[in-house]
Amino acid sequence: MKIGVVGASGYSGGELIRLLQNHPHFELEYLAAGSQAGTLITEVHPQLSQLGERRFEATTTARMNECQLIFCALPHGESARLIAELAPEVKVVDLGADFRLHSAQSWEKYYGGVHAGTWTYGLAEIPGQRAEIANSDRVANPGCYATAIALAAAPALQGGLIDGEDIVVVAASGTTGAGRKASTYLLASEIMGSLTSYKFGGVHQHTPEIEETLTKVAGSTVKISFTPILAPMPRGILATVTAKLKSPLDSAQAHATYQNFYEKEEFVTVLSGSLLPKTSALLGSNGVQIQVAVDAHTNRLIISAAIDNLGKGAAAQAIQNANLMLGIPESTGLTAIGLGA
């Protein structure tokens, strides 16, 4: 199957190419990179030496229409215009935000501009989503923070364990989550040896995405207070999610709820004993690590979740969605096993 990656010069684009090179059913037909057109791919992604002298191409819908499946890894607001000109038979996984939200009002508030519409949401481990993805030709890949936070909270909400309107999240992400565009605050001398919050005060753009996803799981309104943190590392997300318990529960009971919820999910590991999620254990993978406990002192459930923001948070999850869309085993070309320390 001929595959295209649009936005291939970014971090998610590079990770897509790396993973797709080893996919048994996909052929990298078209690798587009806008302003980087004509540049050797290995100048931007030196890890992709197998591509030899291959260069990025210009972004054109004519070339996109020569592919059977397109991965769009563009900044928000850029996918919708291109995709509007695609032939209807071309399948698309969009790693941007353009088609994630149901609410046009939320789009205008958090992103600005005109809402492009809503596609199937590509978080397969959320109840009911796997079948929807498999029956779709256009899928919106979730945001990286949204993936970690939704997977952390979903079992507790479906089980009726927590108050869905009292969820507090603090999550730290590596710098690749901010994209490749040069910014002073991402310079090594600015971030090394330092942590800082950003988009403080509940204004992060993944907030409505998380609330929509978890409201569907809970069957009632979900609200989160979300504080993101920039961590001095290239990649990885560690999310801590806390919520008020509806009734008394101990850690063993909470852990059993999570194990039962994810027991058939090959990419999600609910850690045993006192083990805690670790971002380095997931680098380069589509894996998720989760641990859960009850803070009896405050009557709150505490969930810790880790992912690779470029893996399960972007490129690897996009391939998982493509596999489902095409009716091939969803783990094809993917692993839950990270590189480790």
Do 136 and 122 contact (CB within 8 A), yes or no? no
Amino acid found at 124: A
**C-alpha distances in Å from residue 41, one per residue of 2, 6, 120, 284, 307:** 19, 13, 31, 20, 27
Do 122 and 75 contact (CB within 8 A), yes or no? no
Q: For residue 182, what is the enclosing H or E element?
A: none
Query: Looking at residue 55, what DSSP letter applies?
Result: B
- What is the DSSP pairing of strand 2-6 with strand 27-32? parallel
Do 108 and 97 contact (CB within 8 A), yes or no? no
Please tell me the distance from the alpha carbon of residue 194 to that of residue 192, in angstroms, as a whole number.
Answer: 5
Catalytic residues: 144
Q: Secondary structure of 193-240 in the HEC alphabet?
A: CCCEECCCCCCCCCHHHHHHHHHHHHCCCCCEEEEEEECCCCCCEEEE
Among the listed residues 138, 143, 154, 141, the one whose alpha carbon sits nearest the alpha carbon of residue 265: 154
- Find the length of the chain: 341
Quote the tokens at residue 247.
């009734």
